[in-house]
Chains A and B, each alone.
Chain A
Amino acid sequence: MTAQYTDGWLVAHVREGDLEALGELYKRYKTQVYRTALAITHDERAAEDILQDAFLRVYTYADRIDETVPLGPWLYRVTVNLSYSWTNRVKRWWHFFQDTLDRWALPVHNHPEALAEDQEWRQVLQQAVDALPSTHRVVVILHYLEGLSLKEIADIVNAPEGTVKSRLHYARESLRKAILEREHRLVPEVAYDFT
């Protein structure tokens, strides 16, 4: 089966139980689904399960999918909902516990300076993103990671475009705040370096 077939054509075949058509859709969308799930959950096993579940839903609910439009937005919606469910179910304390363990196991000072600084920055920024409410985080991930437009995101999360825009604004402000806090902590060290 080649890439010349439209999503709609493939969905119509999936309805008839064609697993090759499902396989072609899987090839097309697996990376986006997996990456989005991973970005939301930060858990590879969960992302795998979500990927599997999302495509089983394509198979199960193929008769409810609009075959006149690309499958992408429908799949993103399913992925986001499954990721929400996972995040709510698999308690946040577990991530906190794991992060703490990671920090103990790999002290930043053992790395070369530049790498350590880079990792520290990433951690600060990642924490700022993770601290966002899940509805905001999903919007940020779909926009900055998947490159979707505000309108596309509004369709996926079933919210007005204005709401999506304000969530992005809120995310930027949170990040700005995290950077300022980090700068505050960094200033004495920088001053010490130059004396």
Chain B
Amino acid sequence: MHPAASKAKFDAEVALLTADFLRVKQWKLLTPAYPILDLTIEAKRPLRLVINCDNWNEAPLSVALLSPSDGAFLSCGEAQLLGGGIFNHSAHEQTGRPFVCMRGIREYHTHSSHRHEVWDTYRNEDGMNIPGIVTQIARALRKNIGA
């Protein structure tokens, strides 16, 4: 996708993250500057996500898991505190870090176990935009460790 088209789509979807939307979702927006969306999900154990949206939405979102307190990438051991399900605590083959194992996430679709499940299957579905995918991660986090 042309970078200008990708940025336009990113900007349109990030514009949905209004103050009221963030209040309901209990997210703190840190950096919304293409291609990076940096936010913290409030939960019993808050989680910071740095989301690389380059080539969105031809490519799915690349999500890094960070500590909200110091901004460091979570280690595989620290990621275990997020619980299981979509949070995979092992090192991803490409990033070497724990990752989100869920459709819509680049680390999922590029993992050797899921390469057959192509992003194109989902990319135009309702609810698979940036706010929708982050909502899914937040829901899984709160189900695992509490709100």
A, B: real partners? no
Chain A residues close to B by CB (< 8 Å): none
Chain B residues close to A by CB (< 8 Å): none
